[in-house]
Amino acid sequence: MTGLREHFAETAERAKYYDLTGVVHTARRRRRMRRAGAAAAAVLVAWVAVAAGGFHSASGPMVTVDATGEPTAGRLGWLPATFGVPDEPVPLPGDRGVGEGALVYCRDTECLLLTSDGASYSVPGQIWGLSPDGRWLIYDAGGAMMLRLLTGDRVEPVTAATDVVGWSATGATVVVRQSGVDGRVTVVDPDRGSVVTVAVPDPGWWQPKGLAPDGDVMLAPRSSFTPAAPSTTAPPMRSTTAPAAATTTEPVAAPPTNLDFGIVYVDPATGGTRGHPFPDVDEVYEDWQPWAALKVLARPATGSVVFQPGRRVTTDDTPFYTAGDLIEISPETGTALRRYTLPEPSSVDDAAGELVGVVPEGILLRWPSTPPRIEVVDPSGARHTVSTGPAGVELRMVRGGTRFS
């Protein structure tokens, strides 16, 4: 092998012949739904008519919360309202604590940790995650994943892990996975020193997203719409058989063969699973667009699940795809609770708010605009700017964030 051309050619030969029949079926179904006309239109009209109220969809009441207003100034106690980039950042010291972290930002190829007291530290390797309590940072050190206590000098290696999936709703328990190993994840609690391996049932259909407040591992569909099934017949959602005896023997929930979104919970202690009938996202969001790497977060207090589909926007006859509204669903029933409508970008260069975290005060959005900022959307839909960074930097993650957030 001598160059990129040869490498790409060899890579192409490793491709599979992906089964795309699911796409054809999904497209047909969506077309039928659009052509159903009256029913769908009634739902659309209902959304417009009840901008501040609720309506009853097939899956239950949902409140549409208008979050399109201009943001006002706000504060989160742990997040500096503003910060600057030091000319010569200090490396994260290895022999002492630096205090709780607040967010991670990047400038060019360099990423820095911002602590709650406003100090910035350069981190030598890729930053993989910052715990919800701000105490632990996960970063790459020479190809090894390391957990670093920011309030002390402890450093713990995370073995057999190449990717951070998500965090607990609070505290510092983290879910990691290993590339190429879809059938299991590892739940690491650095404060207790516990490491638990959890089987992911039907990994061709489901992928881990993080932890619910009760510690269960949350799974979401591998694709955010009907996936190309690993087999021609959709397998039932079974209770897992590892790492311990399953507590459930009955199928809990079928994969979303005709739905767009769903959550299944796996108990790390028993391997048992539970799930709910899923809301058909088409019913609560008429023009939602799938996201290949959908972020799914559980709110700390309620456990309700927040996710953000994409949206299709057309300007000057040119369609483009960007972050859409926020959807919140009930962990008890799986029904849609709220849809937070966010401002629609006016052009392809206009920024859209992107879901990056959940806190007791509300939902955290990142705006990659100039200057970049972090906002909280409170339950009323009011948006508050809680941190503003200097122009030219990317706000990569806040507390509870991962590399892909």
Partner 1 sequence: MGGFDGFPEFVEAHTGVWSRLAYVLAGSHAGAEDLLQIALLKTARRWSRVRGYEQPEAYVRKAIYHAAVSQWRRGREWPVADVPDRAVAGDHVDDVDRRIALDAALARLTPRQRAVLVLRYYEDRSVADAAEMLGVSVGTVKSQTAYALERLRVVAPELVGLEWEEAGR
Sheet holding 72-73, edge to edge: 72-73, 383-388, 373-377, 362-367, 354-359
CA–CA dist 362, 353 (Å, integer): 14
369 binds partner 1 (CB under 8 A): no
269 binds partner 1 (CB under 8 A): no
Scanning 45-53, 79-87, 113-121, 396-404 for contacts with partner 1 by CB under 8 A, the matching segment is 396-404
56 binds partner 1 (CB under 8 A): no
- Closer to partner 1 by CB, 51 or 160: give it: 160
Cβ-based burial of 97 (10 A; exposed 0-12, middle 13-18, buried ≥19): middle
The answer for residues whose C-beta is within 8 angstroms of residue 112's C-beta and 6 or more apart is: 85, 89, 104, 105, 106, 120, 121, 122, 123
Cβ 54 vs Cβ 64: under 8 Å: yes
* Contacts with partner 1, 24-53, as mask; x by CB under 8 A: x-xxx-xx----------------------
402 binds partner 1 (CB under 8 A): no
Sheet holding 296-298, edge to edge: 54-57, 60-66, 336-341, 326-329, 305-307, 296-298
DSSP secondary structure code for residue 392 in this structure: T
CA–CA dist 402, 293 (Å, integer): 12
- Closer to partner 1 by CB, 9 or 144: give it: 9
10 binds partner 1 (CB under 8 A): yes
Scanning 16-24, 48-56, 296-304, 326-334 for contacts with partner 1 by CB under 8 A, the matching segment is 16-24
* Contacts with partner 1, 216-245, as mask; x by CB under 8 A: ------xx-x-xx-----------------
Cβ-based burial of 96 (10 A; exposed 0-12, middle 13-18, buried ≥19): exposed
2 binds partner 1 (CB under 8 A): yes
- Closer to partner 1 by CB, 27 or 51: give it: 27
Closest CA to 150 of 98, 73, 109: 98
- Closer to partner 1 by CB, 41 or 348: give it: 348
CA–CA dist 224, 290 (Å, integer): 5
For residue 105, count other CB atoms closer than 10 A to its CB.
24
391 binds partner 1 (CB under 8 A): no
385 binds partner 1 (CB under 8 A): no
Peptide bond into 371 cis (omega under 30): yes
3-class DSSP state for residue 238?
Answer: coil
Cβ 218 vs Cβ 263: under 8 Å: yes
CA–CA dist 167, 298 (Å, integer): 10
360 binds partner 1 (CB under 8 A): no
12 binds partner 1 (CB under 8 A): yes
* Contacts with partner 1, 296-315, as mask; x by CB under 8 A: --------------x-----
Judged by CB under 8 A, the residue of 38, 48, 292, 391 near partner 1 is 292
- Closer to partner 1 by CB, 97 or 125: give it: 125
Cβ 285 vs Cβ 325: under 8 Å: yes
Closest CA to 182 of 166, 157, 147, 206: 206
CA–CA dist 128, 149 (Å, integer): 14
- Closer to partner 1 by CB, 55 or 291: give it: 291
- Closer to partner 1 by CB, 9 or 41: give it: 9
* Contacts with partner 1, 165-184, as mask; x by CB under 8 A: --------------xx-x--
Q: How far is the CB of 37 from partner 1 (least distance, A)?
A: 14
CA–CA dist 332, 118 (Å, integer): 39
* Contacts with partner 1, 91-130, as mask; x by CB under 8 A: ------------------x----------------x----
Number of residues this chain uses to bind partner 1 (CB under 8 A): 56
368 binds partner 1 (CB under 8 A): yes
DSSP secondary structure code for residue 92 in this structure: P
| Interface residues toward partner 1, by CB under 8 A | 1-5, 7-18, 20-24, 26-28, 30-31, 109, 126, 162-163, 179-180, 182, 207, 222-223, 225, 227-228, 290-293, 310, 320-323, 354, 366, 368, 394, 396, 403-404
